[in-house]
Chain A
Amino acid sequence: MADRLSLALTTLLLALVLLVLPALAPARAAVKIQEVTSDGGVTAWLVEDYTVPIVAVRFAFTGGSVQDPAGKEGLSNLMTGLFDEGAGDLDADAFQERLDEVGAEMSFDARRDAVYGSMRMLAEEREAAFDLLRLAVTQPRFDAGPIERIRAQIVTGIQRDMRDPNVLGRDQFARALYGDHPYARRTDGTAESLAGLTAEDLRALHARTFARGNLSVAVVGAIDADALKVELDRVFGDLPAEPRLDPVEKARLNLAQEVRYAYPLPQATLQLVYPGLERDDPGFFAAFLMNHMLGGGTFSSRLFDEVREKRGLAYGVGSSLVTSDYSDMLVIGTSTRADRAQEALAVIRDVVREVADSGVSEEELARAKTYLVGAYAINNLDSSSSVARTLVELQKDKRGIDYIERRAALIEAVTLDEVKAAAQRLLTTEPAVLVIGPEGGEAAGAGKDG
């Protein structure tokens, strides 16, 4: 298992070389993944490397902010702010002091579908760092003082957002798109919902969502499999075997509508939401390639060419295929001069129609394939943290440890007809459209004063 990835990567990269170049010494290193399972049954994907004396750890508990009970929105997010504010016998100050002393950096992040944790540590302080991680993950204190402080910081952030038209517009759009579904909610909650959260709420959420059964772990750096097994049991061994997650329904997207958030701004923000498809859908890779040609590349795509390059309508324009646990979509986004917003919208719709009606060329498809196969390493494997992040996602989504090797073949296999079918399947539905900008699309100075 260990060598397959490195061989595959080297092979695919060499296959891309269109120029014969003798001058460079051959690439020595590559990424090898080991699946490591501890005596206690905790599994992690490990990439062992001793070049830089650090260890990067990344993990995820499936669940996320959709698990926040109704009326307690923001609970997961508040919880993630408190893991370094006291654990075990160490209060907030003692814990942070100790973290600083051992030279480790720790952070947690609540997203819609999962709660993530990361730690970066110096190799020579590994054990002390893992021990702090153990405390944070299994015995967070949720003391009153830190709860008040972190809550107040989050509320300040919400207050800041409440006057920001770009945030408010997007929030309104989310509610229109998702209706009653938890995806309509903000992960950080509201001032009202946060006010009511208690330490008991936090403990209850922690107890039911942090378990070995919904855990994915990736570790990259200066540690071997045997040592890692010990640390996995140390950090995660005491967690319950299974989580108790509330069932969540698939979201039904309300497309075919236009949401306008009127605000005098010099620049208008546009979003178009089309249906997507599930990650496991047999047509996924065709859609993935189609999206790349439509608006996925940095400096080349249909949208980039028509909206920015030819017409100078925008600085940023692009599309993404978004697959979440409970909904899927293809999203096109851009920001344009407010008095040209309607023009930009029309150009975008023309590009979409063109791709849906006529598909793409063989040449475009070949270029997209080459790019997407070759870019994977550069975009996802360029630092220990980046590798760890990528491996956690693959593990969590059950792609398989050999995914990176299989991926190239899956991309290569897509045909022109399949791309056209994907375009017709996703792009012929009337989208949901968001426009944040001045009424009637005129440019305006922002609400400056004083």
Chain B
Amino acid sequence: MDVIRDFSLRAALAAGLLAAASAPLHAEDAPQIDSFSLDNGLQVVVIPDRRAPIVTHMLWYKVGSADEDPGKSGIAHFFEHLMFKGTANHGPGEFSARVAEVGGRENAFTSYDYTAYYQQVAPQVLPDMMAFEADRMTNLVLTEEVIAPERDVIIEERNSRVENDPGSLLSEEVSATLYQNHPYRIPVIGWMHEIEKLNRDDAIDFYRRYYAANNAVLVVAGDVDAASVRELAEATYGKVPRGPDLPPRVRPTEPEQNTRRTVTLVDERVGVPSFSKRWVVPSYTTGEGREAEALDLLAEVLGGGVRSRIYQELVVRRGIASSAMAYYQSTALDDTMFMVMGSPRGEATIADVEKAIDAEIAKIATDGVGEEELEKAKKRFVRSMIFARDEQDGMARIYGSTLTTGGTVEDIAGWPERIRAVTAGDVKAAAVRWLDERRAVAGYLLPKE
């Protein structure tokens, strides 16, 4: 039961996926992805991988923390926990017991735009998993007795992930400052004072509004074939009646941003200061043309790894930072976040690190990126796509997260071509347009001196 971490998805997404037939690097044909919908609106994607007798079964709901009602932060994640508490047909823990019985692995996670439930089992057990998952889609039973202990559990989860970690505390409040109106400003796990008040009525209301076949995407990856999956899906999920149409997922948008803001946390537990700077930028869903791809490559060239601009300049050449990186949170239903961060080393200060990172961004805004540099970044993306095919649950996550944030299977297939088409001019333009110092939000994590 996980609140999703930004970085895990970035790695998965940067891995892109399925190499399209035009990928020049290798002779292997990419496996055939099948996608179809059931009559009740459930979207299904099948990703075969026959190397080991394992199947990954994931059900994704198109609802996340950014869909929560004001004042009820944390309900999407709390509800994810409550989905394990039993239905009219199967007692609490019975689904998990069945997974454990066959040596399977299971978990669930909540993010801003989606909530996903998954199991990894031997293929012969897939029909059981579908039956259980389809069952709890509409037959969940929530008694008052399960609410309080589970609310205590998520409070401890918040304690361990946030309250016990100054970096996370700061990050939460930076997000709340970066987005001035959009619900991405609110942490997925919820604010402590609102979590404490969540109750059974909140949970049932949330369930009825969002948990329906026509609001979900099923992704099955591994030792399966599409025909069998379709048959099984019809026999299980197909029996769930279509729910009412949901209202369009329209969230409050950001107003025009005109200010540079800073957020500072001084904490006794901080041993080494660190710095971050963020901007609101288009996502793969909201970006026009190749804007999102350009931002993705900008993040790679600027701070994607040890060959990147800020790593080479700050860590290697000048020796003022112990770490320096850039990150683009590419998969989101609405406008998203681009971030740079770094930590000083030796005698250097946070101000030195900030100034140096700003200078690297300004260099790209003025002079652009090199053709060779850009080619290498593109090659790295395409290569990571090939590595991604090695992990069936990584592939499943890529499809699930894309399809629940306004993307399509075709978008995924077309990604390598769109990446290849990005020009140095596109990347420069993205830096100029989006990484504007005048509307950046900086976060400082400082030791108590």
Contacts and interface: CB of A to CB of B under 8 A. Distances in A.
B253 interface: no
A313 B126 CA distance: 33
B122 interface: yes
A162 B99 CA distance: 41
Contacts of A448: 166, 169, 265-267
Given A30-B53, A31-B52, A50 B28 contact: yes
B103 A16 contact: yes
B139 interface: no
A92 to B, nearest CB: 8
Contacts of A335: 156, 159-160, 164
A122 interface: yes
A373 B122 CA distance: 12
B51 interface: yes
Given A96-B306, A312-B151, A448-B265, A51 B105 contact: no
Contacts of A267: 156, 159-160, 163-164
B89 to A, nearest CB: 15
A16 B122 contact: yes
Interface string B133-156: 000000000000000111111111
B54 A336 contact: no
A300 B97 CA distance: 7
Interface in A8-30: 9-10, 13-14, 16-19, 21, 23-25, 27-30
B133 to A, nearest CB: 15
Contacts of A23: 127, 228, 231-232, 235
Contacts of A92: 316
B25 A54 contact: no
Nearest to A220: B390
Nearest to B128: A19
B271 A163 contact: yes
Interface residues of B, number: 88
A51 B160 contact: no
Given A29-B52, A52-B28, A164 B271 contact: yes
Interface string B266-282: 11111110000000000
Nearest to B56: A382
Contact of B122 (A13, A53, A105, A148): A13
B425 interface: no
Contact of A103 (B51, B345, B379): B379
A24 B223 CA distance: 10
B173 to A, nearest CB: 11
A309 interface: yes
Interface stretch (A150-158, A207-215, A321-329): A150-158
A342 interface: no
Given A51-B49, A309-B149, A311-B149, A378 B105 contact: yes
Interface stretch (A134-142, A364-372, A422-430): A364-372
A100 interface: yes
Nearest to B157: A315
A372 B103 contact: yes
B380 interface: yes
B123 interface: yes
Interface in A128-173: 148-149, 152-153, 155-157, 159-166
A30 B379 contact: no
Given A377-B54, A383-B390, A299 B322 contact: no
B181 interface: no
B265 A124 contact: no
A440 interface: no
B224 interface: yes
A378 B54 contact: yes
A159 B272 contact: yes
A337 interface: yes
A384 interface: yes
A195 to B, nearest CB: 13
A310 interface: yes
Interface string A29-46: 111000000000000000
B166 A446 contact: yes
Interface stretch (B197-205, B210-218, B381-389): B381-389
Given A54-B386, A382-B52, A24 B124 contact: yes
A32 to B, nearest CB: 11
A76 to B, nearest CB: 20
B117 to A, nearest CB: 13
Interface string B168-210: 0100000000000000000000000000000000000000000
Nearest to B229: A24
B26 A371 contact: no
Nearest to A338: B159
A447 B269 contact: yes
Contact of A54 (B148, B169, B387): B387
B264 interface: yes
Interface in B294-350: 306-307, 315-316, 319, 322-323, 343, 345-346
B307 A97 contact: yes
A314 B228 CA distance: 41
B97 A149 contact: no
B125 interface: yes
A152 B27 CA distance: 44
A371 B100 contact: yes
B121 interface: yes
B27 to A, nearest CB: 8
Given A27-B223, A308-B153, A124 B26 contact: yes
A393 B92 CA distance: 37
B104 interface: yes
B271 A161 contact: yes
A23 B128 CA distance: 12
B35 interface: no
B40 interface: no
Given A52-B28, A300-B93, A376-B103, A156 B322 contact: yes
A152 B266 contact: no
Contacts of A17: 102, 122, 124-125
Given A152-B345, A382-B120, A315 B153 contact: yes
A384 B232 CA distance: 29
A377 to B, nearest CB: 6
A382 B316 CA distance: 36
B201 to A, nearest CB: 19
Contacts of A384: 390
A336 B52 CA distance: 39
Nearest to A6: B53
Nearest to A102: B383
16 contacts: A17-B124, A21-B127, A29-B223, A50-B28, A93-B316, A152-B322, A157-B322, A160-B270, A298-B106, A300-B93, A312-B156, A315-B159, A335-B160, A370-B102, A371-B103, A382-B391
Interface of B: 25-28, 49-54, 84, 93, 96-97, 99-107, 120-128, 148-157, 159-160, 163-164, 166, 169, 223-225, 228, 231-232, 235, 264-272, 306-307, 315-316, 319, 322-323, 343, 345-346, 376, 379-380, 383, 386-387, 389-393, 446-448
Q: Which 8 A-B pairs have the closest CB atoms?
A: A374-B103, A312-B152, A447-B268, A312-B149, A375-B103, A450-B266, A156-B322, A163-B271
